[in-house]
A and B are shown apart, each in its own frame.
Chain A
Amino acid sequence: MKLFAACYCRLQQHRGWLVLTLLLLLSFAGWYLPQMKVEESISAMLPDGESQVANDFQLLQRAPFARKLVIHLSAEAGVDSDLLIAASDSLRLALPAELFINPLSGPGKLAAGPLFRQVGDYLPQLADAKDLQTVAERLSPAKIDVFVAEALAQLLQPQGVALKGEIRRDPLQLDALALQKLRYLNPIPGVRLERGHFISQDGRSSLILADTPVPITDAAGSKTLLDAFSAARRQLPDGISAELVSGHPYTLANATVIKADMQRVLLASGIGILLLFFLFLRSFRALAVYLLPLFSMLVAVLVTAVWFGSLSGITLGFGAVLLGITIDFGLHVYFALRNGSGARTREQLLQAVSRPVLFGGLTTLAAFAVLLRSELPGQRQLAIFAMAGIVAALLLALLFLPHFVGDRDDLKAPSRQLLQRYVYDRTPGLRISVLLLWLMVSGVAAWQAQKLTVNGELRQLSYLPTELQQAEQRLGDSWGNMRGRALVFASATKLEDALQLNELVWMRLVEQGLQDDAVSLAPIFPSQQTQRQRLQNWEDFWQQRRAATYDLLRASGQKVGFSATAFDPFWERLDRPQSLINQQLLESWGLGRMLDNLLLADGQGFQVMTLIPDRSELISVLERDLETIPGVTLVSQSRFGRQLSGEIGADFSRFISSAGIAVLVLLLILFRRLPEVLLALLPVLTGLLVMFGGMGWLGLEMNLFNVVASTLIIGLGVDYGIFMVCHGQQEEDLASSRAVMISGLTTLVGFGALVLAKHPALHSIGLTVLLGISAAVPTAVLVIPAFRLKRRW
């Protein structure tokens, strides 16, 4: 560590260059930062890469309603449904087209379109074995008599005039079998149609669905969107209200609450840091220590922005918090040079303090380097950000800071020094008490830590305002759970293959008796191969039964007066050549939007989507069943949450073990003796244990942000241990206890203040830091010396 002392000597004559370098850094940052691109998307904290979680996350974004804006209109009791429908139309027209693309308040007058007239003609292509069985059952003499009598009854009714052609064409009501296939296309469970509008079963709610170009993670765009919605909503009549249910209100609410939190937290931590400054430092020279994290952050921002091209807002905010760790290095150098003793020269003190500072920095660097392997792009970016900041902080603390902290303070009275150093030798009972208390706290924490669970539910990381949750609840009450469906993707490079896979999925759902809860294209859009096969089956079916059925139908008709040729259109229909159902036909039936939702195409191929209820017991059964079909993927929010929990748990275990090994290796290199290594690890282990135990006791769950915040505990905890163990080993007194205490207090005030935040992510960071550092500092300052017998402290 003579290098830093030598550098100090050499640079002593060129302090102006050091100031110039810092000014140049400031100027460059001042020029670069305003043009830097900061991404506001939260996607940085979501998995990417090729992991199953990452793939599932990408697939979940394709759910029909995940991409839609859902506007839920509600009418108060006593308000006429006509008014509700008129209000839906007027609101739909008032929504700005550039933000609300293709707003839809219903499927329109499907009944008047070609769908209901034509779909029956395609029964031969749609009829599966069960349908053929149903048709066969209708061909018994008794059943035919019933159908013919019903036909007669219908013809006698006034509507018989319009139904006459249909009755002649379809006396056995076979069209109904084809029409039944359409019910599997309804993605809104509690919907009925009234004058072409989506109306809830109780008639008190209507829906408008729209697309938007505003990404769900864009806070500024969300505000524009919600403002436009509020403006359009103002023209609704009394008694009718409208709510926009999508991710955008959550994004905006989160951005707003984070802004308010930061103001509150910065005020609290600013006051706290000022108090610490006046209580313990009381020198304008100490300002240099506080400037160190600022300069480190500037370097980190510049390096990360150049490395990645842009910088995530989350990395910036979170990284700024994490780089608070760098004040640690500055404080140790400051206190060593200002309050240190036991060495004759400033160079010797710097040489002595540079060893723990460098190793402290390297261990923190190692802890952050582990995050480079994370599944989350934001965490990887954060790792680069933190590592760049730490390297800069080390260089600034060891090369720059010594020149700006001023001369050594007058030494305190030896008696006071001795009192501090030999306190445990003088009072052995205190040593025992501290160790017992530490053991007790650690024991309780270890016991409570067993209750800690991991939660991968992404929503838990967001601020979820009650009014938005209630709006979502009201939507679910009126329309059923349309936004929380699990998705089954059948993927293939060719549409035909994807449709065949989709049929296999449908067959499995039917086997499980789940078809009534599913939304699928399979019943109405089978693959070409299946359609051809069914046509063949249909022909074979009638070849065997045609003659007998003809006689039965004729005889039955004649019994009630039908002429011999009454049902000729039925036989002509059976003889008509059939074309296959394709996308164009479905679009001509007005099902284009449904196709857009359930049939996805990109440059890679096609994906046919099936929606099923997201019930965990159902998902676990289907998961096993569907994984046997290559090309089929099941994704669900609930399973995604479980998987993400697993990933976070595994990520954290990997992180802890890798960081642990890296830290252990560095500590072994530094101390070369196991007892010292174990002692140096005490603060970090106690900090983590208390953090886990505290969270378990409070009933809190481990989330993504706790994982990242743990790096702060590990980095600082190891630093405290290194400083205190080095302090015990070295001749020089580097005022390490004081530096550790001030560092801990600064961290608690600066980042523990985040516990005041309303936002769950910020709050959880604050709590993690509060619990961990509150345990790590006393362990470093009181417990490490208590373990060392007959040594001076």
Chain B
Amino acid sequence: MIDRAIIGFRTKPFAAEVEKGRLRLFAKAIGETDPIYFDEAAARAAGFRSLPVPLTFLFCLEMERPDPYDWFDQLGIPLGRALHGEQSFEYHNGTCAGDVLTFESEIIDIYDKRGGALEFLVQENHITDQRGDRVAKFTRTLVIRHD
């Protein structure tokens, strides 16, 4: 069982710059074909400041931390036993290449099902941009298998 005392555990705030090359690589990896994700001129023509950050990429940027799984070790969660259970995003403002985004995460809940065979860990990430504006929030639920 994961110690419930870690509810409220926060990772150190982490800032990451949104890089054009990285966005293009990501767009390619998901099979994207829309030119706004590759070509700045197309992005501008579509009303974006630069290449837009794809809907799910904020999750990836949070993993830019030097060791994105360090808190698994700190909390004693075996990585190979963790599955992604749920993921949600709330978007307040669009983000684009060139933005510097700061991520602050907190474990907000832990619960179990099937008599403890499955544990669920819910982590919230608040994202602000270089102006300090809240741009998005995402919530990740991990499932830890104890079977």
A and B associate: no
Residues of B within 8 A of A (CB): none
